[in-house]
């Protein structure tokens, strides 16, 4: 292939940037050059828009032999799922640099190197088509994230970073064993080739458990979620944003990329349990979020709830469910990322993340509160905004398949509205507690929030393009999932089309 | 007997080094020379040794009355030994606890020990094996207590000798049983003999006892008790050598012996059980250590356990994986020891608290230490990950799946204490009262960087080196 290697460029450009940064002395120049690198990275991602929406297979593939003896290859490629995730990651890098402009004032160079490493590793995870390569990126991401929390974090940063590292790595050691088992069972580490084979149920059973353990910790699902609030609260703003917007998606991505296609029967077998855990995550995350005093903690627990919708959608195994799961993943990345930046913005002014120290901002910081209200409404799934699309699709999927489960998920939506609206009301109209002469949003902050706000409305009002990008891939995933047992997908297209005008335009039928 | 001397290039070069050092230590003893550092040439010479060992990689032959085999395996390990020897010598150059007048003797013994390990790699006859092993061990017995006038070092020395002597006696005792029941001491002939309880009970007993001597060298559970004490007691630089290179010697012999091991045999299962116990015990004991050298001592016990995964697989890839992993182990351990030795300009032991604030005083050394520690965990993209991946892949589905799962669980346990090293270096600030060390020297940074680069490069592009290991494994077990 003599084509321009888009994905390799995206992975290796930030790494090359890491080598340049240590030679820049001036702090401001470090920030500016990282910002420029982030923008160049975004420009490098532009060729991805040549992505052929009608194809279900992997595109932009690159393949070179890596370790011949063990059949490892440097194999990159993306489908609809990874396309969206990569675009989200690329978008976030410049925003992370911008939102740390004032927040981070020690060891600037190392901080920006960690951000670049994170970006490279995250893109690598979403683009890798070789199991070992995937694992390499998956683990490589831990170190910069650990440093982001442990070096630039809050007062409890050591505890939080250690917990984050131990939880995630403990989970992924079993993923390593599963990977080796797949190699010996399937004879290759290549993900597309592994997917084409089928495995005995007994093998699938254990492989699913090993992989699901790793992914469930990463998502995080209910009993394994305790690292998340600690990590979120202690991490610097940029760390929280990357954690919420990209890292959490990797668990769900793992379920979609590995569990469903590789172990379909075991996934079906465990689906009731996974759905139950998802519902538990939704309700538990919602209830705990209700009781939080700390804004970051509140948003962290709301993440647990949102990710519960993702796993719920995935384990329905229907097109609606999967569409919804992916939309929630994407939207959660946009909205929660924005909310974390908002909390960071107010923290720069009040030096407190507690709700009671930040009451009554509406009068003094109207632009800030405007954005806060916008993203809070988006987070609770207000119609016309992005999260609504995802949650609605998941709920339609779940009501079509298990109405009772759907009924159990509805309180989660109500809880989301409750804690988000209460937070917004207190921030906007509460008795002003400590606010005085704080400047409203600066130009830099406007630049951070505007693109995210545009995306909120774009996806909310016209989700057609996004859905069209993921649909062929989702159909493929469902086909792979059903490869042993032919099943009929519920003809739900009409139901959605009547609710979502935008979905009707592309007129696709599952 | 006609022997082609080009077959022995690495050994001959090492002998030349030894003779030079010997001459220097005998004739260089003028009163004025006592205050001169006269061993400054050795790193350059041992760097040439790496090249020579590289040239000798293709040597093939069976010489010296068929007791000495030159094949892919032996040459691979000789290369690994000379690489490790180079870094160990470089590391020990400015050893603070060693008087100048002892330097020639110190390096003489170090070179002799490395020479013994090179011979061990090629020995295929039990008595030759025994002699090579003793050659490498005796030199080390003398090196361990050489740490100024430290009482702990003497204790470590005595422990090492006593444990070593006991292990040697047991080995010899086993050797006598093997000779009595099988009437040969050649490995090639021994492989053909029956090895089961019914036909050769005495032989089986003998080989178990003989193996014990090597498990001692490898510090495999339950023969590991010396390792933490010896590492803690001896000087940092000697520990760097004792923790790394002798393991190579033990692994090469175990690889030769285990070419006869088939999964399912009771002997294989015993090794697998020892391996599992070794990794679990080593990791659990390391969790609570504060002294970094002691922690690395226990970590070496657990790494010996990981290597057994390759040995019990009964596949050429498994043997290759074990060989590759031991080379990687030497490199990553030397990386950690390199930083430890730089952090202790007066030669004291380094505790976790001494690592505090390392990222500020010398960010580059902190980075090197982090690379070494993450490689010991087995985190990509370091060589430790690739080595572990190869080991896991070779042992899976060979009847020892429980060993693989134990290894994976152990990786999870091990993260905690390796991460602790990184955590102290990166996140804990140095207390105001503690003296600020000036550890940022160009010498330390450059070679630390080389080691870290090697560890990272072997992790990202392992195939060229693994190719040699694989060729060696295939030759041994076609």
Residue B380 with chain A: CB contacts under 8 Å: 135-137, 139-140
The 10s digit of each residue's pLDDT in A438-467 is: 888 888 888 889 999 999 989 888 888 888
What is the value of ipTM here, to two decimals?
0.83
Instruction: Note whether B85 and B49 are within 8 A (CB).
Output: yes
pLDDT band at B185 (very low <50, low <70, confident <90, very high): confident
Instruction: Note whether B116 and B134 are within 8 A (CB).
Output: yes
CA gap A120, A126 in Å, rounded: 10
Dihedral over Cα of A185, A188, A191, A192: its sign: negative
The full set of domain ranges for chain B reads 261-478
The 10s digit of each residue's pLDDT in A61-102 is: 888 888 887 888 888 888 888 888 999 999 888 888 888 888
Q: Which of A135, A165, A184 sits opposite B397 (nearest CB)?
A: A184
Mean pLDDT of chain A: 85
Q: Over 60: is that where the pLDDT of B29 sits?
A: yes
CA gap A311, A212 in Å, rounded: 11
CA gap A177, A194 in Å, rounded: 15
The position carrying tokens 């090359």 is A16
Which residue would you say has higher pLDDT here, A490 or A220?
A220
pTM: 0.86
The 10s digit of each residue's pLDDT in A16-28 is: 888 888 888 888 8
Q: Which of A135, A139, A173 sits opposite B412 (nearest CB)?
A: A173
Cβ pairs A/B, distance under 8 A: 89
**Following DSSP, what letter does each residue of B430-459 receive, concatenated?**
PPTTSPPP----HHHHHHHHHHHHHHHHHH
Residue A162 with chain B: CB contacts under 8 Å: 416, 419, 423
Taking the Cβ of residue B425 and every Cβ of chain A, the question of whether any pair is shorter than 8 Å is answered with: no
pLDDT band at B432 (very low <50, low <70, confident <90, very high): low
- Determine if the peptide bond prior to B222 is cis (ω within 30°): yes
Q: Among A255-259, A273-277, A368-372, B91-95, name the one with the lowest average pLDDT.
A: B91-95
The 10s digit of each residue's pLDDT in B457-469 is: 888 888 888 888 8
CA gap A245, A241 in Å, rounded: 6
What pLDDT score was predicted for residue A496? 44
What pLDDT score was predicted for residue B328? 92
Q: Which of A132, A151, A170 sits opposite B389 (nearest CB)?
A: A132
Q: Which of B380, B388, B411 sits opposite A136 (nearest CB)?
A: B380
pLDDT band at A283 (very low <50, low <70, confident <90, very high): very high
CA gap A345, B187 in Å, rounded: 72
Taking the Cβ of residue A67 and every Cβ of chain B, the question of whether any pair is shorter than 8 Å is answered with: yes
Q: Over 80: is that where the pLDDT of B6 sits?
A: no
Mean pLDDT of B413-417: 87
Residue A183 with chain B: CB contacts under 8 Å: 393, 396
Taking the Cβ of residue A174 and every Cβ of chain B, the question of whether any pair is shorter than 8 Å is answered with: yes
Contact B397 A169 (CB under 8 A): no
What pLDDT score was predicted for residue B433? 52
What pLDDT score was predicted for residue A505? 43
Q: Over 80: is that where the pLDDT of B240 sits?
A: yes
Cα distances (angstroms) measured from residue B451 to each of A184, B238, B463: 33, 18, 18
Residues 307-326 (B) with a CB less than 8 A from some CB of A: 317, 320
Taking the Cβ of residue B364 and every Cβ of chain A, the question of whether any pair is shorter than 8 Å is answered with: no
What pLDDT score was predicted for residue B437? 59
Q: Over 80: is that where the pLDDT of A387 sits?
A: yes
Helix (H/G/I), strand (E/B), else coil: B65: coil
In DSSP terms, which residues pair with B186 in a beta bridge?
A: B125
User: Which element (helix H / strand E) includes B1?
Assistant: none
Taking the Cβ of residue B111 and every Cβ of chain A, the question of whether any pair is shorter than 8 Å is answered with: no
Residue B409 with chain A: CB contacts under 8 Å: 173
Taking the Cβ of residue B463 and every Cβ of chain A, the question of whether any pair is shorter than 8 Å is answered with: yes
CA gap A284, B451 in Å, rounded: 48
User: Which element (helix H / strand E) includes B149?
Assistant: none
pLDDT band at A486 (very low <50, low <70, confident <90, very high): very low
Contact B392 A177 (CB under 8 A): yes
The 10s digit of each residue's pLDDT in A219-277 is: 888 888 888 888 988 889 888 999 888 988 999 999 988 888 888 888 888 989 999 99
Percent with pLDDT over 90 in chain A: 17
Instruction: Note whether B286 and B219 are within 8 A (CB).
Output: no
Nearest C-alpha of chain A: how many angstroms from B405? 7
Contact B380 A139 (CB under 8 A): yes
What pLDDT score was predicted for residue A338? 92
Taking the Cβ of residue A15 and every Cβ of chain B, the question of whether any pair is shorter than 8 Å is answered with: no
Q: Over 50: is that where the pLDDT of B67 sits?
A: yes
Which residue would you say has higher pLDDT here, B180 or B443?
B180
pLDDT band at A477 (very low <50, low <70, confident <90, very high): confident
The 10s digit of each residue's pLDDT in A1-18 is: 457 788 888 889 998 888
Q: Over 70: is that where the pLDDT of A377 sits?
A: yes
Residue B317 with chain A: CB contacts under 8 Å: 69-70
Instruction: Note whether A393 and A323 are within 8 A (CB).
Output: yes
Taking the Cβ of residue A213 and every Cβ of chain B, the question of whether any pair is shorter than 8 Å is answered with: no
CA gap B392, A233 in Å, rounded: 37
Taking the Cβ of residue B210 and every Cβ of chain A, the question of whether any pair is shorter than 8 Å is answered with: no
What pLDDT score was predicted for residue A502? 47
Token pair for B53: 């060992």
Token pair for A22: 């240590």
User: Which element (helix H / strand E) includes A439?
Assistant: none
Mean pLDDT of B388-392: 89
CA gap A107, A105 in Å, rounded: 7
Q: Over 70: is that where the pLDDT of B438 sits?
A: no
Q: Long-range contacts for A190-195 (Cβ within 8 Å, ≥24 apart)?
A: A190/A71, A190/A73, A190/A75, A190/A129, A190/A130, A190/A131, A191/A75, A191/A128, A191/A129, A191/A130, A191/A131, A191/A134, A191/A257, A191/A258, A192/A58, A192/A129, A194/A131, A194/A262, A195/A261, A195/A262, A195/A480
The position carrying tokens 């009929």 is A488
CA gap B28, B17 in Å, rounded: 15
Contact B404 A140 (CB under 8 A): no
Percent with pLDDT over 70 in chain A: 94
Contact B423 A158 (CB under 8 A): yes
In A100-245, where does DSSP find H-type helix? 108-127, 131-140, 142-152, 157-186, 191-196, 201-218, 227-234, 237-242
The 10s digit of each residue's pLDDT in B310-340 is: 888 878 888 889 999 999 999 999 999 988 8
pLDDT band at A310 (very low <50, low <70, confident <90, very high): very high
Q: Over 80: is that where the pLDDT of A485 sits?
A: no
Q: Over 50: is that where the pLDDT of A508 sits?
A: no
Contact A177 B428 (CB under 8 A): no
Nearest C-alpha of chain A: how many angstroms from B270? 22
pLDDT band at B112 (very low <50, low <70, confident <90, very high): very high
Angle made by CA atoms B299, B303, B305, in degrees to the nearest 5: 120
Report the greatest alpha carbon distance in chain B.
70
Nearest C-alpha of chain B: how many angstroms from A6? 21
Mean pLDDT of chain B: 83
Residue environment code for B41-70, b if the CB has 16+ CB neighbours within 10 A, otherwise e: ebbebbeebbebbbebbebeeebeeebbbb
For β-strands B68-70 and B61-63, DSSP reports them as antiparallel
Instruction: Note whether B395 and B318 are within 8 A (CB).
Output: yes
Residue A73 DSSP symbol = E
Q: Among A106-110, A408-412, B385-389, B439-443, name the one with the lowest average pLDDT.
A: B439-443
Instruction: Note whether A203 and A185 are within 8 A (CB).
Output: yes
Mutate to test the interface with A, among B317, B319, B393, B399 (most CBs of A within 10 A): B393
The position carrying tokens 């077990």 is B477
Token pair for A229: 């609030």
CA gap A345, A423 in Å, rounded: 16
Q: Which of A110, A132, A158 sits opposite B427 (nearest CB)?
A: A158
The 10s digit of each residue's pLDDT in A284-306 is: 999 999 988 888 999 999 999 99
Residue B379 with chain A: CB contacts under 8 Å: 139-140, 142-143, 169
pLDDT band at A487 (very low <50, low <70, confident <90, very high): very low
Taking the Cβ of residue A157 and every Cβ of chain B, the question of whether any pair is shorter than 8 Å is answered with: yes
Taking the Cβ of residue B408 and every Cβ of chain A, the question of whether any pair is shorter than 8 Å is answered with: yes
Mean pLDDT of A37-45: 89
Closest residue in A to B371 (Cα–Cα): A143
Q: Which of A143, A181, A183 sits opposite B374 (nearest CB)?
A: A143
Taking the Cβ of residue A200 and every Cβ of chain B, the question of whether any pair is shorter than 8 Å is answered with: no
What pLDDT score was predicted for residue A504? 41
Contact A69 B317 (CB under 8 A): yes
Which residue would you say has higher pLDDT here, B431 or B300?
B300
What pLDDT score was predicted for residue B332? 92
CA distance from start to end of chain A: 33
Q: Over 60: is that where the pLDDT of B34 sits?
A: no
Instruction: Note whether B402 and B319 are within 8 A (CB).
Output: no
Q: Which of B317, B374, B393 sits opposite A180 (nearest CB)?
A: B393
């Amino acid at each position: 292939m003599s084509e321009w290697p888009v994905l390799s460029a995206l992975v290796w450009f930030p790494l090359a940037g890491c080598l340049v940064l240590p030679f820049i002395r001036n702090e401001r120049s470090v920030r500016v050059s990282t910002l420029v690198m982030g923008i160049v990275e975004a420009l490098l991602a532009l060729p991805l828009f040549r992505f052929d929406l009608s194809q279900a297979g992997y595109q932009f593939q690159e393949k070179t032999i890596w370790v011949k003896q063990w059949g490892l290859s440097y194999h990159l490629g993306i489908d609809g799922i990874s396309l969206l995730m990569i675009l989200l990651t690329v978008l976030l890098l410049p925003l992370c640099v911008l939102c740390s402009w004032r927040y981070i004032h020690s060891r600037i160079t190392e901080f920006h190197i960690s951000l670049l490493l994170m970006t490279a590793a995250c893109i690598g995870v979403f683009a890798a088509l070789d199991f070992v390569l995937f694992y390499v990126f998956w683990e490589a991401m831990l170190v910069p994230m650990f440093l982001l929390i442990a070096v630039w974090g809050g007062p409890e940063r050591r505890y939080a970073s250690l917990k984050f590292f131990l939880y995630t790595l403990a989970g992924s050691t079993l993923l390593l064993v599963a990977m080796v088992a797949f190699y010996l069972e399937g004879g290759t580490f290549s993900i597309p080739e592994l997917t084409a084979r089928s495995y005995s149920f007994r093998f699938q059973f254990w492989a699913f458990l090993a992989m699901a353990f790793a992914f469930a910790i990463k998502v995080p699902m209910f009993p394994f979620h305790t690292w998340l609030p600690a990590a979120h609260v202690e991490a610097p703003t940029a760390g929280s944003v990357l954690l919420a917007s990209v890292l959490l998606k990797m668990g769900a991505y793992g379920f979609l990329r590995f569990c469903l296609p590789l172990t379909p029967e075991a996934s079906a077998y465990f689906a009731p349990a996974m759905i139950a855990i998802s519902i538990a995550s939704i309700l538990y995350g919602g209830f705990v979020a209700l009781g939080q005093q700390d804004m970051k903690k509140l948003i962290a627990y709301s993440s647990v709830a949102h990710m519960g919708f993702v796993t719920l959608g995935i384990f329905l195994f229907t097109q609606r469910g999967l569409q919804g799961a992916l939309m929630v993943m994407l939207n959660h990345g946009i909205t929660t990322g924005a909310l974390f930046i908002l909390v960071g913005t107010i923290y720069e002014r009040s030096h407190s993340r507690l709700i009671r120290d930040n009451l009554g901002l509406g009068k003094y910081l109207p632009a800030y509160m405007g954005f806060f209200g916008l993203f809070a409404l988006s987070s609770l799934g207000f119609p016309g905004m992005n999260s609504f699309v995802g949650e609605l699709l998941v709920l339609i999927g779940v009501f079509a398949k298990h109405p009772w489960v759907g009924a159990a998920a509805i309180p989660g939506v109500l809880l989301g509205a409750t804690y988000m609206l209460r937070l917004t009301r207190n921030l906007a109209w509460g008795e002003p507690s400590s606010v005085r002469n704080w400047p409203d949003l600066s130009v830099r902050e406007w630049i951070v929030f505007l693109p995210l706000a545009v995306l909120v409305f774009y996806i909310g009002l016209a989700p057609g393009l996004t859905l069209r990008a993921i649909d062929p891939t989702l159909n493929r995933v469902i086909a792979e999932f059903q490869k042993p047992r032919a099943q009929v997908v519920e003809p739900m297209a009409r139901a959605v089309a009547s609710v979502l005008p935008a979905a009707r335009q592309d007129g696709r039928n599952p | 007997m006609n022997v082609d001397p080009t077959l022995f290039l690495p050994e001959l070069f090492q002998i030349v080094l030894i003779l030079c050092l010997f001459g220097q230590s005998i004739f260089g003893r003028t009163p004025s020379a006592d205050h001169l550092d006269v061993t400054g040439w050795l790193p350059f010479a041992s760097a040439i040794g790496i090249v020579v060992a590289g040239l000798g990689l293709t040597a093939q032959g069976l010489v010296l009355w068929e007791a000495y085999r030159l094949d892919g395996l032996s040459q691979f390990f000789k290369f690994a030994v000379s690489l490790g020897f180079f870094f160990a010598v470089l590391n020990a150059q400015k050893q603070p606890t060693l008087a100048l007048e002892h330097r020639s003797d110190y390096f003489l013994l170090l070179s002799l020990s490395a020479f013994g390990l090179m011979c061990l790699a090629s020995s295929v006859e039990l008595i030759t094996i025994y002699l090579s092993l003793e050659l490498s061990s005796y030199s080390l017995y003398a090196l361990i207590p050489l740490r100024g006038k430290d009482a702990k070092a003497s204790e470590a020395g005595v422990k090492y000798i006593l444990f070593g002597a006991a292990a040697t006696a047991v080995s010899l005792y086993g050797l006598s049983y093997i000779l009595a029941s099988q009437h040969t001491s050649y490995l090639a002939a021994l492989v053909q003999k029956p090895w089961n309880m019914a036909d050769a009970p005495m032989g089986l007993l003998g080989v178990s006892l003989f193996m014990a001597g090597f498990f001692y060298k490898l510090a495999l559970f339950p023969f590991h008790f010396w390792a933490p004490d010896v590492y803690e007691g001896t000087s940092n630089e000697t520990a760097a050598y004792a923790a790394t290179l002798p393991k190579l010697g033990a692994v090469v012999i175990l690889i030769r012996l285990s070419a006869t091991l088939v999964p399912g045999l009771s002997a294989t299962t015993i090794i697998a059980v020892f391996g599992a116990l070794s990794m679990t015990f080593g990791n659990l004991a390391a969790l609570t250590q504060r002294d970094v050298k002691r922690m690395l001592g226990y970590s070496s016990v657990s790494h010996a356990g990981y290597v057994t995964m390759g040995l019990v697989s009964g596949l050429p890839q498994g043997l290759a994986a074990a060989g590759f992993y031991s080379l990687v182990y030497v490199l990553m351990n030397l990386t950690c020891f390199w930083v430890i030795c730089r952090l202790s300009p007066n030669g004291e032991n380094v505790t976790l608290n001494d690592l505090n604030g390392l990222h500020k005083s010398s960010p580059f050394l902190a980075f090197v230490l982090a690379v070494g520690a993450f490689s010991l965990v087995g985190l990509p993209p370091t060589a430790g990950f690739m080595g572990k991946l190869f080991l896991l892949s070779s042992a899976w589905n060979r009847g020892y799946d429980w060993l693989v799962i134990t290894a994976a669980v152990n990786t999870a346990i091990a993260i905690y204490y390796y991460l602790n090293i990184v955590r102290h270096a990166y996140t804990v600030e140095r207390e105001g009262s503690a003296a600020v060390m000036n550890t940022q020297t160009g010498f330390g940074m450059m070679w630390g960087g080389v080691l870290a680069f090697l560890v990272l490069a072997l992790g990202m592009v392992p195939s060229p080196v693994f190719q040699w290991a694989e060729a060696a494994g295939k030759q041994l077990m076609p």
